[in-house]
Amino acid sequence: MSIAASFTPSTRSLGLPKFNTHHPSHSSPFFAIALRTTTSLTWKANQGRKRPVLVCSGGDGINGGNGKNSGGGGGGGAGGGGDSGDRNKAEAILALANIGRSLDSIPNDLAAAIELGRIPGSIVLRYFELEKSPLFRWLLQFGGFKERLLADDLFLAKVGMECGVGIFTKTAAEYQRRKENFFKELEIVFADVVMAIVADFMLVWLPAPTVSLRPPVAVNAGPIARFFYSCPDNAFQVALAGTSYSFLHRIGAIMRNGAKLFAVGTASSLIGTVVTNALINARKAVDKSSADEVENVPVLSTSVAYGVYMAVSSNLRYQVLAGVIEQRVLEPLLHQHKLMLSAICFAVRTGNTFVGSLLWVDYARWIGIQKAQELE
């Protein structure tokens, strides 16, 4: 195999990794073939170009990745580390070469991750596939969307699924639990639905697996900050090659997301209950006969209770849904059948949303912040 590269000096260093011929890794086709073939690197200076361009040829049909969904990685460390980091860097550079792109033509955070050996070639190829869509190209400008779309190209579709069906499934669940009292407790139903609309997006966003492109943690950061920096965004997500998560790191992911969802749930509930109480008071002002029938929703207790519910029940359910059911089970089976994968994800997320609504009503009644009204 021969690799020929032509480039001109650039502000960014583009160094190929050192190959360890004594301890080859058999998990990558690049190194498997390199074991059998003498590799030669020829660097030619070309003063006619302003950006480095790699031109590679391989008689063994090597490419930078298979394009398969390899799952999310995370900030388990500053770099890939060892042979895995070198392999990731080699695959990523080859992926860039195959499509005629350079490190200077991609975002700085992605280029830095490549140079540190934190992402394989398949993630680089996915970035360029997403970049073909005007909508995704715009979303890739935002770090949070970029990290999630690189880990799961169906992330945006899942956000639409969750928010689109949330209103209908939660309303249906409220009716299922309240039956004849549904219209008598309509104000409470409205509060629950408002809370759901505000929270649904965050329930998809926070537990979603990611490919971490964050810069290394600050040198003067404390031990707690360093620990949570090393935690994945999803406790069950698949780690990229060269990245590993301990059991404590995965527990830390649940704790960190739980704290965020507690804040989201409490804030969304405050909005919902305040709006609901305003509607109740307006109804009392218009209809004096309903003044004794409808009571204001307790703001503080309801908000804190909903925050606790999201931090525990919602957090665990969505962590398992995104990290286990979708990424570890459905993705490997249906990664070549995106339409079927989307349909099954839609069904699973719809069922999860409905179950969550049922659990919230039972939980709210169990702790006493909502009481069923008896029919006369």
Check if the beta carbon of residue 122 is closer than 8 Å to that of residue 73.
no
Worst-scoring range by mean pLDDT, 77-81, 164-168, 322-326?
77-81
185-238, pLDDT tens digit by residue? Answer: 777 787 777 777 778 889 999 999 999 898 888 788 889 999 999 999 999 999
5 pLDDT band (50/70/90 cuts)? Answer: very low
Gap between the Cα atoms of 57 and 89, Å rounded: 17
Count of CA atoms in the C-beta half-sphere (13 A) of 76: 27
303-346, pLDDT tens digit by residue? Answer: 999 999 999 999 999 999 999 999 999 999 998 999 999 999 99
For residue 234, give both structure tokens: 């999803």
For residue 124, give both structure tokens: 């680089």
Q: What is the pLDDT of residue 82?
A: 65
176 pLDDT band (50/70/90 cuts)? Answer: confident
Residue 186 burial (CB < 10 Å; 0-12/13-18/19+)? middle
Report whether pLDDT(23) > 50: no
Residue environment code for 216-237, b if the CB has 16+ CB neighbours within 10 A, otherwise e: ebeeeeeeeeeebbbbbbbbbb
Q: What is the pLDDT of residue 289?
A: 67
Report whether pLDDT(41) > 80: no
Q: What is the pLDDT of residue 347?
A: 93
String of DSSP letters for 254-275 = HHHHHHHHHHHHHHHHHHHHHH
For residue 150, give both structure tokens: 């690189």
Q: What is the pLDDT of residue 13?
A: 44
Nearest to 191 by CA among 171, 208, 165, 209: 171
Cα(first)–Cα(last) distance of the chain, in Å?
85
pTM of the model: 0.71
Backbone angles phi, psi at 45, to 5 degrees: -85, 130
Report whether pLDDT(99) > 70: yes
Q: What is the percentage of the chain residues whose pLDDT exceeds 90? A: 42
For residue 48, give both structure tokens: 């006619």
Q: What is the largest CA-CA distance in the chain?
A: 90
Q: What's the whole-number mean pLDDT along residues 47-52?
A: 38
Q: What's the whole-number mean pLDDT along residues 102-114?
A: 91
Q: What is the pLDDT of residue 220?
A: 85
Highest mean pLDDT pick, 18-22, 65-69, 213-217, 316-320? 316-320
Task: Give the C-alpha distances (Å, rounded to integers) separating 169 from 172, 265, 267, 353.
Answer: 5, 18, 22, 7
Computed over every residue of the chain, the mean pLDDT equals: 77
The helix/strand/coil state of 351 is helix
Q: What is the pLDDT of residue 356?
A: 87
Q: What is the pLDDT of residue 291?
A: 56
Q: What is the pLDDT of residue 51?
A: 40
Q: What is the pLDDT of residue 92?
A: 93
Gap between the Cα atoms of 249 and 69, Å rounded: 23
Q: What's the whole-number mean pLDDT along residues 69-80?
A: 43
